[in-house]
Amino acid sequence: MQIETFKIFCDIAETESFSKAAAINEITQSAVSQQIRSLEERYKVMLIERGKKNFSLTQEGRVFLDGSKSILATFDRLAHRILEMQNIVAGDLRIGTVYSIGLHELPPYLKEFRRRYPQVKAKVEYRRSTQLYSEVHDGLLDLGLVAFPVKRKGLKVENFWQDKLVVICPPDHALSRKKSIRLDQLSGEKFILFEPDLPTRKAIDRLFKSQKVDIHVAMEFDNIETVKRAVEIESGISIVPSTTVAQEVLTGSLHSVELDGVDACRPLGIITKRNRATSPALRQFIGLLEEGVGEKATQTAAAAVLK
């Protein structure tokens, strides 16, 4: 029996899906089914209930799952320890991120990480927030980067940065003559916003509600780039993270205005799977995020924008 068999069984149990376990291990679903059948034939027991609407393990399956987790944890600790003894940081690192973080905050961190650890193959996947929580939990991603992180069962959540929210408008808009503004002064303005289910939009809605500000929602989009383009063509104004418009403000295609009198910040968080062995590559990447290398570089650019 190979170590991969224990991992596949754990992945099936955690995702409650043969197809997801196949995707995680980059094999076909039929290959996953065949491995489970081989296990059941070897021990002459049924490990997974068949023919039921809801996924479930048999009593023997739960015992096998506990044993598999123990074996995998020991194997991972051994592999990581050997690499650490050789001062080697290598392997694959699967990073998931929302678009705004991946396009604006993540690049300086990723650049520095690749410079320090060229033997690590870091792959970035772009997802919506809800998908990131699910895929990190299911083991499809090693870590996720999200805005306004929330606690979820089975996941570890750490904040690593707070970005400032600012108002943006076209350069010839009346607001372009201001450096700062109160939220209540935006009543009646036509807004380009993120879609209602996105965390940053929910935070903006809470700000409007707390200040009893009524606005006109002209358009809603699911990504920062489209929001910025809509503001540039004078379809309305918006509220966005300051780092996401640094380039546009520098070139003059957009103007940013700070918000007075409200706590207008967007916390960014790291999500990882709780109680999972941490590879040297993952540990070093998290350490780099906490070190604030990318934050320093981006804040320098943002400071230039706000002058």
Minimal CA–CA distance to 10: which of 79, 57, 50? 57
3-85 belongs to CATH 1.10.10.10: yes
CATH ID of 91-161+267-306, from 3.30.70.580, 3.20.20.70, 3.40.50.300, 3.40.190.10 = 3.40.190.10
Distances 172 to 105, 232, 255 between C-alpha atoms, Å: 28, 10, 9
Are the CB atoms for 270 and 132 separated by under 8 Å? no
pLDDT value, residue 68: 87
pLDDT value, residue 82: 73
Q: Are 3-85 and 91-161+267-306 equal in CATH topology?
A: no
Encode burial over 78-103: b for 16+ CB neighbours within 10 A, e otherwise.
eebeebeeeeebebebbbbbbbbbbb
Residues 245, 65: Cα–Cα separation, whole Å: 48
CATH ID of 163-266, from 3.60.130.10, 3.40.50.1220, 3.40.190.290, 1.10.357.10 = 3.40.190.290
Enumerate the domain spans of the chain.
3-85, 91-161+267-306, 163-266
pLDDT value, residue 85: 59
pLDDT value, residue 90: 77
Are the CB atoms for 127 and 96 separated by under 8 Å? yes
Question: How many CB atoms sit inside 10 A of residue 186's CB?
Answer: 21
pLDDT value, residue 301: 45
Per-residue pLDDT of the chain (307 residues; tens, 9 = 90+): 688 888 888 888 888 888 888 988 889 999 989 988 898 889 899 899 876 667 788 999 889 988 888 888 788 777 767 766 556 677 889 999 998 899 899 999 999 999 999 989 999 999 999 999 999 988 889 999 999 999 999 999 999 888 999 999 999 999 999 999 999 999 989 999 999 999 999 999 999 999 999 999 999 999 999 999 999 998 899 999 999 999 999 999 999 999 998 889 999 999 999 887 778 889 899 999 988 755 555 554 444 444 5
pLDDT value, residue 202: 94
* pTM for this entry: 0.69
